[in-house]
Structures are given as C-alpha cells and as structure tokens.
Amino acid sequence: MFRAIVDNIKGLWSLIVGLSITGRFFFSPVKTVHYPRQVVDPESLASYRGPLELVPADDVGGSKCVSCQMCVRACPGNCLTVIKGKEGKAPETYLYDFTLCCLCAACVESCPTSAIRFSHNVYLTARTREELHMDLLADLKARAAKASQ
C-alpha cells in the first residue's frame, strides 16, 4: 500500500517532467521548412536524384549520347527509349518515362560516355501522366536556349 502510494507519486512526477518537456518545445521555434515561403538549403539538394537529364556536350543543345542502348538495357523499369539518328551516332529521340523510373542509377552508371545524369529538380510537379513522359533531347535544347539568352 505504502509502496503503491510512493510509486504513484513518482509517476505523477514523471508526468510533470513530460509536461515540462512539451511545454518547453511549445515555446521553441518551429523546425519545419515552410515551403512556398522558404526552400530547402540548395546544398542539401546537390545530391538529390530528380528526373534524368542529358549532359550537354556543347552550347547549342548537343548531347554526348552515342545511342549505344546500354541504358535502355540496364533499366529495370524499361523507362527509356533511345532511337539512333539517320546519320552519325547521335540519337534522334531520347524518351524518358518518369512514371516508370525508380531512380536507381543503373542507366547513369552503365553509360559509357556519361551522357546522362540526375537533375536535382525537387520541385517537379505534373498534373497529368503525359507531362511525366519526357523528351530529354527537347529538354536539353530548351536548357541550352535558356542558358544562351
């Protein structure tokens, strides 16, 4: 009986300790990053794997890709379609289905010319499935055009 009373008083004390901890946190600043107003430190996004992009070989949107199909064969999700162009080794189409991609880096690591890499685009949004079917060559050209402006 006496033991139970002492136990309960100790228990009540542990509750007060708990309240003091949450009370202290109540007055400490919030830890979340309030997205549209604040963004995550870009340093911590440097390694983030976003959707694939082609590495530019020159300033006008040429790519290093030699259409060797290594990435297509490596991909576990079959999300890449590379069609070789009529002349030379450069690809005519480089389609990338982000809905199937699991960001495993099999393509990036198997590319003999290091022509593809992960972008660090965390803020990608899409309203339809089709928006995630990307044409990487067009994307590369758009980026080159934007950079040259």
C-alpha distances (whole Å) from 115 to each of 22, 60, 90 are 51, 15, 11
Stretch that binds other proteins, among 14-22, 79-87, 126-134, 137-145 (CB under 8 A): 14-22
Q: Of 49 and 141, which CB lies nearer to other proteins in the complex structure?
A: 49
Q: Establish if 8 lies at the interface with other proteins (CB under 8 A).
A: yes
Q: Establish if 125 lies at the interface with other proteins (CB under 8 A).
A: no
Neighbours of 61 (CB within 10 A): 19
Q: Of 8 and 99, which CB lies nearer to other proteins in the complex structure?
A: 8
CA distance 140 to 90: 13
Footprint (CB under 8 A) of other proteins, residues 26-65:
26-32, 34, 43-44, 47-49
C-alpha distances (whole Å) from 31 to each of 19, 22, 28, 40, 85 are 20, 14, 9, 12, 51
Binding mask 76-115 for other proteins (x = CB under 8 A): x-------------------------xxxxx--xx-----
Residue 113, both tokens: 């010319």
CA distance 72 to 138: 19
The bridge status of strand 116-118 relative to strand 80-84 is unpaired
Closest separation in Å from C-beta 134 to other proteins: 19
- Residues near other proteins, by CB under 8 A: 8, 10-12, 14-15, 17-19, 21-23, 25-32, 34, 43-44, 47-49, 70, 73-76, 102-106, 109-110, 118
